[in-house]
Structure 1
Amino acid sequence: MRFSRRHSLLVALVLCASATVAARPTAAASDRGGAPGPSAEEGISARVARLFEEAAVATQRYEAGRQAAEAQRAKTVRLEKLLTKERKQIAVLNADLGRIARAQYREGGGVPYTAQMLFAEDPEELMRGQRAAWQADLAVNNAVTKSRRAETRLAADEARAATAWRALEEWKAGLSGIKKAIEQKLEVAQWTLQGQADEAVAAGACRGAVRMDQPDGEPSSAWVAPVATYELSAGYGSGGERWASRHTGQDFAVPIGTPVRAVGAGRVVKVSCGGAFGIEIVVKHADGYFSQYAHLAAVTVDQGDRVGPGQWIGQSGTTGNSTGPHLHFEVRVTPELGSGVDPVPWLRKHGVTL
């Protein structure tokens, strides 16, 4: 019986789990996010943006751990099926050994050698019989030894696999705890940011631009969606109790503090923080159209600034006439309300499909 296939599979399984466990994170390392901690002067806007990045990294690591655990579980199921089959094979081998031993006894293997010499008629026949018996004994002993070694190796490999599996589960649980802690910090920071925004709107005085580090990567001339990750909610022209007639833009459902991007190159012509739109930004583009970003929690540009595609110009919120966190995005032929066009086909003409 051959055990090489099972053994190689199990060794690969244990090594895979061990390699995953070796990369186990610590709460302190994850909480740092690979970057220096916030200073006393760090604004809440920058803290929210940083926590978003940390939450994204933690989520990716958690998903990687979850996928590794699922793969480990699938391998364990396959291994258990293989082990069950091999246990049956070992049982068959043991039964065969019993039959061989019984047959050997019936054929004289259990008769003492001295008695066989006294009753033998032909010395050569005696020697042949003894040689055959000796070879049979040797084959049986070898088979028994192999069977016992296989069973011992099987037990040891099962124990190693079980240890690796438990370690992987602990690692995944640790990732889940780190992810939850970051999300809790993010939620507190988000509503602190929103509270500051609501105060500014109530006072009718914008706090001014909060400069933030821009996303990594080389500047591009390609147009982009106003937020990187989103779910579309209310669309252009849809009805609703909170609008005088029809919805004038496209809403993007995103959490408070999500970085809002300029969809294309242009100049900021308006930054305001009162009225139905709450905190808003309006950008004029080279084709004569204007893009509006409303219900913000913070702005990172001032009126008159030049912006490029993908540049962070603010953070989403729920200021003004808003029922929940989202970005209200409009495209207009003038900077004022009432001149809007459907943003979806306008973005599509610029190479952006929502």
Structure 2
Amino acid sequence: MRSYRRYRLLVPALLCALAALAARPTAADKEPGGGGDTGISAEVARLYEDAAVATQQYEAGRKEADEQRAKAQRAEALLDIQRRHIAGLNEDLGRIARAQYRSSGGLPVAAQMILADSPDDLMRGQHAFSQTNLAVNNAISKSRRAEARLTADEARAAAEWQALEKRNTQLAGLKADIEQKLEAARSQLQGQADASVAAGACRGAVRLDQPETGFTSAWVAPVETYELSASYGSGGARWSSRHTGQDFAVPIGTPVRSVGTGRVVRVSCGGPFGIEIVLKHAGGYYTQYAHLASVAVDQGEDVSPGQWIGQSGTTGNSTGPHLHFETRVTPEMGSAVNPVSWLEARGVAL
């Protein structure tokens, strides 16, 4: 399941915002030796948000680019119609010229007066001559106007296609630069987490600059954007019996959220779960968040729904970046219940 926020942005503002994000220095840029233990966690969190904004703006730009592409294609279709119209006008001019020649419409006025049998014949001849000339002039004028529109439309279509390609290149490049910085920071964060687990000592809470959540519900999913992987009760060689939680496949450094109001009853490192947090909720239930790369809360701290409590990683018995989420009736292993059903009963559909 994926959740994306979308905004319609003007192109100049979009590109300037992305450029500003891409230009932000990483923790390694700001501090010799790659920064302190807490610096990289905060930097990953910032870059994670920057990457999310960049993705939103990139998608908004792609949508606008698609609209521009459709507009250019419509312009091309109009050009084809105009070309056929001009070809028709040229055929009309040819028919008029041939009709003039056959009816002697090109005789001088003096010759027409001499050859006319009566004044009425002369007037009819003059009228026909005037009408023919008017038709020729109108056809020529229409042809010239159509050719002018064709030239302008061709130039406009070419300019739109060039702007489209330039914009797409800029958006892709700026987005890739942010993602490259984020990937490097994630690698550094995981390295520090592995060192903490190996030493059996957590680095302590890293206070992250969390944006306003604005949640109106009492319960939320433990991560915002994710794909479900190993499910509760599934078998596998990695577990002694059955899988006791629900795994959320997310990149290293993804902010992990408290699913509801609770209190931190455990923050630990080492063992099969690596870096983990256990929360106690009303009603006697507990939730566990395991294989983390960092923690953002201390034991005994109260938390609210959607509050960032740590960052995902791949510490402990883990084969790749993900969040292992459990729901329990005690804080200890062996008391897990199906976390998907538990969340669904509280209005959170995964």
What is the match of residue 4 of structure 2?
A: none
Q: Give the 3-state SS of the residue equivalent to 1:29 in structure 2.
A: helix
Opposite residue 264 of structure 2, the aligned amino acid is V
Tell me if structure 1 keeps the 8 A contact 2:251–2:322: yes
Query: Are 1:25 and 2:15 an aligned pair?
Result: yes
Q: Tell me, in whole angstroms, the C-alpha distance in 2 between the residues paired with 1:29 and 1:137.
A: 65
Q: 1:277 aligns with which of 273, 280, 295?
A: 273
Tell me if structure 2 keeps the 8 A contact 1:294–1:328: yes
Tell me if structure 1 keeps the 8 A contact 2:197–2:270: yes
Q: Tell me, in whole angstroms, the C-alpha distance in 1 between the residues paired with 2:264 and 2:178.
A: 34
Q: Give the 3-state SS of the residue equivalent to 1:330 in structure 2.
A: strand
Cα offsets for 1:193-227 (capped at 9, x unmatched): 00110000000011000011223133645200100
Q: Give the 3-state SS of the residue equivalent to 1:108 in structure 2.
A: coil
Query: Are 1:202 and 2:198 an aligned pair?
Result: yes
Query: Are 1:120 and 2:116 an aligned pair?
Result: yes
Q: Give the 3-state SS of the residue equivalent to 2:44 in structure 1.
A: helix
Tell me if structure 1 keeps the 8 A contact 2:79–2:154: no
Opposite residue 287 of structure 1, the aligned amino acid is G
Q: Tell me, in whole angstroms, the C-alpha distance in 2 between the residues paired with 1:61 and 1:28.
A: 11
Query: Are 1:290 and 2:286 an aligned pair?
Result: yes
Any stretches of 5+ residues in structure 1 without a counterpart? 1-18
Q: Tell me, in whole angstroms, the C-alpha distance in 2 between the residues paired with 1:82 and 1:169.
A: 22
Q: 1:249 aligns with which of 245, 263, 269?
A: 245
Tell me if structure 2 keeps the 8 A contact 1:268–1:303: yes
Opposite residue 142 of structure 2, the aligned amino acid is K
Opposite residue 254 of structure 1, the aligned amino acid is V
Q: Tell me, in whole angstroms, the C-alpha distance in 2 between the residues paired with 1:319 and 1:140.
A: 85
Query: Are 1:145 and 2:141 an aligned pair?
Result: yes
Any stretches of 5+ residues in structure 2 without a counterpart? 1-8
Tell me if structure 2 keeps the 8 A contact 1:220–1:309: no
Query: What RMSD, in angstroms, separates the aligned Cα atoms of the two structures?
Result: 1.9
Q: 2:335 aligns with which of 326, 339, 348?
A: 339
Q: Which runs of 4+ in 1 moved over 3 A?
A: 19-24, 38-42, 217-221
Opposite residue 164 of structure 2, the aligned amino acid is L
Q: 1:184 aligns with which of 180, 184, 189?
A: 180
- 1:347 to partner: Cα distance: 0.8
Mean alpha-carbon deviation: is it higher for 317-326 or for 128-137?
A: 128-137
What is the match of residue 13 of structure 1?
A: none
Q: 2:211 aligns with which of 185, 203, 215?
A: 215
What is the match of residue 91 of structure 2?
A: 95
Aligned length: 332
Q: Give the 3-state SS of the residue equivalent to 2:63 in structure 1.
A: helix
Opposite residue 52 of structure 1, the aligned amino acid is Y
Opposite residue 337 of structure 1, the aligned amino acid is M
TM-score (norm 1): 0.89
What is the match of residue 55 of structure 1?
A: 51
Cα offsets for 1:274-297 (capped at 9, x unmatched): 100000000011110110000000
Q: Give the 3-state SS of the residue equivalent to 2:277 in structure 1.
A: strand
Q: Tell me, in whole angstroms, the C-alpha distance in 2 between the residues paired with 1:102 and 1:85.
A: 26
Q: Tell me, in whole angstroms, the C-alpha distance in 2 between the residues paired with 1:77 and 1:255.
A: 39
Tell me if structure 2 keeps the 8 A contact 1:201–1:279: yes
Q: Give the 3-state SS of the residue equivalent to 2:256 in structure 1.
A: strand
Query: Are 1:224 and 2:220 an aligned pair?
Result: yes
- 1:53 to partner: Cα distance: 1.1
Tell me if structure 2 keeps the 8 A contact 1:221–1:265: no
Query: Are 1:175 and 2:166 an aligned pair?
Result: no
- 1:151 to partner: Cα distance: 0.9
Query: Are 1:267 and 2:271 an aligned pair?
Result: no
Tell me if structure 2 keeps the 8 A contact 1:24–1:171: no
